[in-house]
Structure 1
Amino acid sequence: MEEYNATELEKIREEISESRKKRKTCITICGGTGCHAYGCLKVAQAFKDEIKNQGLQDSVDVRTTGCHGFCERGPIVVIQPKGVFYQRIKLEDIKEVIAETIVGKKIIDRLLYVDPRTQEKIVREKNVPFYKKQKRIIFGNNGFIDPTDIRDYIALDGYRALTKILFDMTLEEVIEEIIASGLRGRGGAGFLTGKKWEICHEVNSDVKYVICNADEGDPGAYMDRSLLEGNPHSVIEGMIIGAYAIGASEGYIYVRMEYPLAVKNVTLAIAEAKKLGLLGESILGSEFGFEIHVFRGAGAFVSGEETSLMASIEGKRAFPRQRPPFPAQEGLWGKPTNINNVETWANVPLIINKGAEWYSKIGTRGSKGTKIFSLVGKINNTGLVEVPMGMTLKEIIYDIGGGVKDNKKFKAVQTGGPSGGCIP
């Protein structure tokens, strides 16, 4: 791959989009960790082999994507552009899917999702109750992108926000846009992201850092991991934008060793971005340069706390320190450091592309945007859900989650993992 400037990036985006219009049908197979356990990679390879055997490779694309979210029903296959949703696909189903749905344009009823309340068989992914009440602005592209192919991300406006801030916005304007959006940190504290950036920007230092906290240690929580697995470039682009805003030239993604697929995909994504001139010196031909390193954490729960995480990167024992000084003032190796979690970084390109006004209309007065939750336990529809801030737990548990298994009485919901609490 050759390095691109801003004009060349837009040209290649158009070329990718045009070339994919010729392949009107795309079979997407969920490739998240959950579906790996169900054998999704064997399913994907079998689809590719059968498409090739039937000479359909010029008109049908087969793509292993990130997590679709509905982990209860894997392996999940969605046939685009119509969004035909097939669940729990087995190897013996593949020839039938190609013959009946791809070639014959017919629906296979037995592979459809059946609404347990109405017994209705649902054809389209968007009409499945699990997805219907979600607002998947961050997680939605997971179902379209092959995380190992940067062209998929570029085709869906990837790195367009980066081009915009490098050539059309000042550092101050970027920070003002993030402040105006109302984006709060998604790691738990809920501090205004733009204000954190502003503090770090105003500190006078020759060296600054940005860090992505992907040390997701709560049992049952796999939101950040799935974003890194399925759409790593959204996080990388967000980090580059944040680095530009505060004046950093180096960043770290701190991810657990227990998440091998996330480590693999984000490492590959960084390498691809560097080859295209989206990381490194003179990004897209600008005067701004930035490097990202992947740091593999050893799995200590305390490493998720930001000062412990920085100590770990420095080669010390992961142990929290008192604040102030805050990391934005004195962080990694004593230098100003901006730390945000995976989901926070993934919001940034959206805000730059669509505007703070658009983003601030989602959610509540005090909390803007959406939030991704892992829905687990004794519930009918387990998986990852993305909902607007302000949605009630009842809506999430019953309308999206399908209620308690076996119609048993609801007792309590635990939020925030072992460090959270139970709400009766």
Structure 2
Amino acid sequence: MTLTSFGPANRIQRSAETHPLTWRLRDDGEAVWLDEYQAKNGYAAARKAFADLSQDDIVQTVKDAGLKGRGGAGFPTGVKWGLMPKDESINIRYLLCNADEMEPNTWKDRMLMEQLPHLLIEGMLISARALKTYRGYIFLRGEYTTAAKHLNRAVEEAKAAGLLGKNILGSGFDFELFVHTGAGRYICGEETALINSLEGRRANPRSKPPFPAAVGVWGKPTCVNNVETLCNVPAIIGDGVDWYKSLAREGSEDMGTKLMGFSGKVKNPGLWELPFGITGRELFEDYAGGMRDGFKLKAWQPGGAGTGFLLPEHLDAQMYAGGIAKVGTRMGTGLAMAVDDSVNMVSLLRNMEEFFSRESCGFCTPCRDGLPWSVKLLRALENGEGQAGDIETLLGLVGFLGPGKTFCAHAPGAVEPLGSAIKYFRPEFEAGIAPSSAVVPPLARPIVIGA
């Protein structure tokens, strides 16, 4: 895995002033353990939070900084924290770190946990102080075995140093932290499915309301935040709101920096910490180096497999939620994938929809039945056995499984790339219709939503 904050000419150096998430990284890629982390100003923000700030001050600072969730949804973190109950009599609360990073083409949280485990622990410690949570869990993707080993070691180091456990920093505040490895389901990225899995239940999403802030783990108030989100907290508390906001490019409505990347047949696939508002073209050309020799960029996804495809002319969009929304899709996780001109879009979508279909929890009918239906149609088109009307049926499924039509956001994310692929590359889908069926009245009619 590549992680660098250097441009192709090595002009951009990582520093605490510009790269709050990655400036402590070692050049050899090894983990930064407690002594080195503290030598690099680690846990200074936690000490400040415990000594100088009230719990409400911490929440307000994070809210004022404009920190938003980095897992894909982009919900304002301070607002989410503010939903936790104020009632002091509720003395059992939980903080959960969503580290179930199973979005295809996304690996940013893995890097943070493997190489900077104490940054996540410090972020959770400050967050626990703000939210009055006495226990935290890092719900980790089961395949991330190195991350599990490093996080567990870091937790033990923090305990031995008095940074976790009882009476932290002499404050009278107690916080225990545990690493919990999941059993390998994509749906656990949805916060209430994660809570069910942590409790030992089937990983189905829960009905909301009630939201986890009111009824979460074992019925108690619970806050769930993504790894990268929590890793931003120490810098915000340590260096302040104005500095944090100044990191983003002009025009961006999202504040701070973001781990962004590019995969696919690019010359320099990797992961970089970059300011919100950088353009897709800068990310693609200056950092990823453009396409490898002999390949052309056909399409790209801006933030994981659940975001819509864009064309090369969309590369000038700014990389923040509103900037990507202007060209018709979502920022997602911020890790882009390049699709080269040798790829058949029908085959690519069939592969994606197979994944999403397999990972459905099966709770609601549109997702449980609609995604396998899309796979069946795409497989027929891929083999040149499609029927007249199949494309219209696929577009009907895109609408039927869209936002607000299913129990959670799994199906809407699954069909977003399908709809965009048909929009931009319909001839490739039409090529899969068998000639004998082209003149036959379609057997499958469009699904009319709301009819």
| TM-score (norm. length: structure 1) | 0.68
Q: Which runs of 5+ in 2 are unaligned?
A: 312-451
* Match in the other structure for 2:150: 265
**Of the candidates 134, 147, 162, which is equivalent to residue 46 of structure 2?**
162
Kindly indicate whether residue 26 of structure 2 is the aligned counterpart of residue 139 of structure 1. Answer: no
* Match in the other structure for 1:393: 280
Q: Does the Cα contact within 8 Å between 2:8 and 2:286 map onto a contact in 1?
A: no
Kindly indicate whether residue 67 of structure 2 is the aligned counterpart of residue 183 of structure 1. Answer: yes
Q: Does the Cα contact within 8 Å between 1:210 and 1:338 map onto a contact in 2?
A: yes
Kindly indicate whether residue 292 of structure 2 is the aligned counterpart of residue 409 of structure 1. Answer: no
Q: Does the Cα contact within 8 Å between 2:3 and 2:272 map onto a contact in 1?
A: yes
User: Equivalent residues in 2 for 1:205-284 (5 A)?
Assistant: 205-284=90-169
**How many angstroms does 1:133 deviate by?**
8.8
Q: CA RMSD, aligned part only?
A: 1.9
**Of the candidates 267, 279, 296, which is equivalent to residue 380 of structure 1?**
267
Percent of aligned positions with the same letter in both sequences? 42
In 1, the alpha carbon distance for the partners of 2:216 and 2:10 equals: 41
Q: Which amino acid aligns with 2:208?
A: R
Q: Which amino acid aligns with 2:286?
A: D
SS class of match (2:150): helix
Higher relative contact order, structure no. (Cα contacts within 8 Å, ≥ 6 residues apart): 1
SS class of match (1:398): helix
Aligned residues: 304
Q: Which amino acid aligns with 1:257?
A: G
User: Equivalent residues in 2 for 1:30-45 (5 A)?
Assistant: 34=1
* Match in the other structure for 1:69: 3
C-alpha spacing 1:296/1:130, structure 2 compared with 1 (3 Å): farther
In 1, the alpha carbon distance for the partners of 2:134 and 2:10 equals: 41
Q: Does the Cα contact within 8 Å between 1:180 and 1:357 map onto a contact in 2?
A: no
Residues 310-360 of structure 1: CA deviation (Å, up to 9, x unaligned): 101000011111211111222111111111101001000001110111101
Q: Which amino acid aligns with 1:307?
A: T
In 2, the alpha carbon distance for the partners of 1:130 and 1:379 equals: 18
Residues 364-385 of structure 1: CA deviation (Å, up to 9, x unaligned): 5520011112321010101111
In 1, the alpha carbon distance for the partners of 2:25 and 2:239 equals: 19
In 2, the alpha carbon distance for the partners of 1:254 and 1:399 equals: 35
Q: Which amino acid aligns with 1:132?
A: I
In 1, the alpha carbon distance for the partners of 2:56 and 2:66 equals: 16
In 2, the alpha carbon distance for the partners of 1:395 and 1:337 equals: 39
* Match in the other structure for 1:79: none
C-alpha spacing 1:413/1:244, structure 2 compared with 1 (3 Å): same
Q: Does the Cα contact within 8 Å between 1:130 and 1:402 map onto a contact in 2?
A: no
**How many angstroms does 1:175 deviate by?**
0.9
Q: Does the Cα contact within 8 Å between 2:103 and 2:305 map onto a contact in 1?
A: yes
Q: Which amino acid aligns with 2:73?
A: A
* Larger-Rg structure: 2
In 1, the alpha carbon distance for the partners of 2:10 and 2:96 equals: 33
Q: Does the Cα contact within 8 Å between 2:70 and 2:226 map onto a contact in 1?
A: yes
